[in-house]
Structure formats: C-alpha cells, structure tokens
Copies of this chain bind each other. A is one copy, B any other.
Amino acid sequence: MSESAFNLSRRMAGLRPSTIREILKVTAQPEVISFAGGLPAPELFPVAEVKAASDLVLTNNGAAALQYSESEGYRPLREWIATEVGLRGFKASADDILVTNGSQQGLDLMGKLFLNPGDVVLTENPTYLAAIQAFQTFEAKFVPVPTDTDGLIPEALPELIRLHKPKFLYTIPNFQNPTGLTLSAPRRAALARIAAEHGLTILEDDPYGKLRYRGVEIPPVKHWDTAGRVIYASTFSKTIAPGLRIGWMVLPASLFHPTLILKQASDLHTSSFDQRVAHIFLTQNNQTIHLEKIRRAYGERYEILDATLRTEMPAGFTWTKPEGGMFLWVTGPEKLDAMELLQRAIVQKVAFVPGRDFFPADAGKNYFRLNYSNSTPERIREGVRRLAALCR
C-alpha cells in the first residue's frame, strides 16, 4: 500500500515529525543517562496511595467507576479543583471546570474551538513543542512574542495584535517548557490588562506551577483577568501521576458549552475510573506533604545539575536558573549544532533535546533542553561530565 493510496487532509502536510519521539526511543535503554523527555520522577509517584484509592473506588462505587460518565468530568473532582483554583489566586466554580484527558487535550480542544486554517497563535519563543503540534493540526500560523529572562514582554503585544489579529496567546507562565523561566508578577498584570484592552484571548497553561522549589509563588495571569479573557489549564500529571491522563481547564462561561460539545465529540469523557481514583487520592491524602517531597527532590536535582554544569561546562555555554519545574535551557556558542552534539552524545550514552523543535519558526541551532526531574543525583553528575567532555 503506498501512502498515495489515501487522500489525506491538507493539515497532514503541515505536521512536523517530532525529533523528540525518536530520541526517546534511544534513551529508553537503561544505560543511557537521559536529560531528554519530560518525565516526572517515578520513585515519587504515590503508588501505595493510588492503590488504596483504587480499592476504595472499586469497593464502594465499582459500577459507577466503570460506567460512561459526564463529559464535563466527575463532579466531586471538579469541586475539588474549584477549591484548589481558589488557593492559586482566582475564583471559579465547579461549573466552569472541564476535565480533559491530560492537559494536552485542552490544547487540542482550544485548537478546535478557535482555529481556522491560517489563524495566528502568539507564543513564547521557544515554546512547548507539543503545543506547536496540537495547534499545527488546525493549520495555525505561529508568531513568536519577544521574550527575555522574565518571560514574554507584554509591551510587544499591541503591535503584534494589530499586525496579526491572533486568535489567542499561548503562554506557560511558570517554569516554562523548555526554558524553565517564569513570567514576573508585573508582567502578568500587564498581560491581563493588555488582553482586556485589545480583546486578546489568553490560554494560560500551568502544568508546573505547584513544583516551585525556591523563590516566591506568583498568582496566575488569570488572577488579574477582570475582563474574562483568560482560559486557565492545568493537570494532575506532575502532582499525582501522568499515567492517569487527567488535566483540567477553567473556561469563561460563554466558552464552556462549546468546548464541552468538542470534548464529547473527541472522546465522550475522560476515564471515569481514573477521575474517581484521583479524587479519592486528593481527598484522603495530605497534598502539602506529598507536593513538598516532589519539590524538595526536584530542587535538589536542579541544584546538582546547575552546580555540575558550572564545574564542567566550557566557556561559551550559559543556562537558565529556574525556580521550579523540570527543565533548564542551555544556550551554546553560535557555532554549536545541538543536533550534531546529540548524535555524539548518544554514542557516549547521554541524551538531551536539541532546541530546534521548540521554536515555532526557524531559529538558531545552538540551544538544548535539559530535564532534571527524572535522574538521580549521581546520574545527573555523570551525565553532565559526559556531555561537557563533548562540548569542549
């Protein structure tokens, strides 16, 4: 069967193959020290607590947990999320919350909701590569917003809005993927104000916000959103476990029903079982203690990565100083070709993700992303030594 036997949609021509997928296959070998991927530390997964929750769900509500359920999501879980959202700095009711199949599905739904072919999405530069993939499915065009170490620069927006009439701005304000950088509080306030003034819709993606290991928590952009222009998305992937695929969105009232119809057409609903298990886990266990364990481990791993990079890396390499999350971002000398470096690194059994795929438009080849959440301190040290030797 040749591919041409099928007449595929136009969108398939625009989809970029993911380099990261191929890298991850290589790095699955246990002898490879991988700074690639974006995996949480599995040794911190609350396996025993999830097991207790599963038992409870199936003992007390087995039939309901295995039956079709509401497309909106499991009501008690949505109520828990509404309370959590209050602690994060803005008000929402359970009625505003849609449970998604991981926060990735939220991106897909927003693409469906907003994007006609050729529509512009504003993004940080670089940005999360699977968001690029999700919006590419709807034939979006990407326009990067100028960015510095405090995140995107709000003052650049009015001109971009005027020129490109974007459908929305996609932003990850906390410990951004891939840079690890955080949008400052004044910029969040400015962003919300500009959105209100210019009728800009903001998709605020916050998967990592609960993973702050130093510095002071900053409320979400949504906190400053008096005009109802911000859609807020988050997930349990980093705080419970990604394998359950439970994400969620807080939607402005007028967008809830249209998005719900799209969710229903996409997969009817998210696993009834996993939603109930997550709800029991959340209500039966102290989340502060659980999250503190993750934060401490990731903070320690970051410190070791940063310290070893400082000792080992040659001149000409700089990297970001995240206050949370799972990634940092390395800028090499102009002449560095991170793809070529990766090929040599894999021979030495160490891996990372070259920066190229995170840029919506073409960009320099001298960047790469390092993940530190999924390696032990010893492996981080050894991995950096191997990598640095190749950079000298």
Those of A300-358 within 8 Å (CB) of chain B: none
Point out the residue from B116, B167, B242 that lies within 8 Å of A67, measured CB to CB: B242
Q: Is the CB of B261 within 8 A of A133?
A: yes
Q: A43-B63, A64-B42, A113-B9 are in contact. Are A243 and B271 (CB under 8 A)?
A: yes
User: Contacts of A64 on B, CB cut-off 8 Å?
Assistant: 42, 243
The listed residue with most B CB atoms (<10 A of its CB), out of A100, A104, A119, A253, is A104
**Subset of 5 A-B contacts with CB under 8 Å:** A5-B252, A9-B119, A21-B264, A47-B58, A64-B243
Copies assembled: 2
Asked if A137 is at the interface of the complex by the 8 Å CB criterion, the answer is: yes
Those of A157-210 within 8 Å (CB) of chain B: 167, 199, 201
User: Contacts of A266 on B, CB cut-off 8 Å?
Assistant: 104-105, 108, 134, 137, 266
Q: Is the CB of B51 within 8 A of A67?
A: no
Q: A5-B229, A11-B116, A133-B264 are in contact. List 18 more A-B contacts (CB 8 A).
A: A7-B201, A8-B113, A8-B258, A9-B112, A9-B113, A21-B71, A39-B67, A39-B68, A45-B67, A51-B54, A68-B237, A68-B243, A105-B266, A137-B266, A243-B271, A244-B272, A245-B268, A245-B271
Q: Is the CB of B102 within 8 A of A268?
A: yes
Asked if A254 is at the interface of the complex by the 8 Å CB criterion, the answer is: yes
Q: A58-B51, A66-B50, A242-B68 are in contact. Are A254 and B116 (CB under 8 A)?
A: no
- Chain B nearest Cβ from A187, distance in angstroms: 23
Asked if A155 is at the interface of the complex by the 8 Å CB criterion, the answer is: no
Which residues of chain A have a CB within 8 Å of any CB of chain B?
Answer: 1-3, 5-12, 15, 17-18, 21, 37-40, 42-43, 45, 47-48, 50-51, 54-55, 58-59, 62-69, 71, 100-102, 104-105, 108, 112-116, 119, 130, 133-134, 136-138, 167, 199, 201, 228-229, 237, 240-245, 252-255, 258, 261-262, 264-274, 277
Q: In the bound complex, what is the Cα–Cα distance between A269 and B101 (angstroms)? A: 9
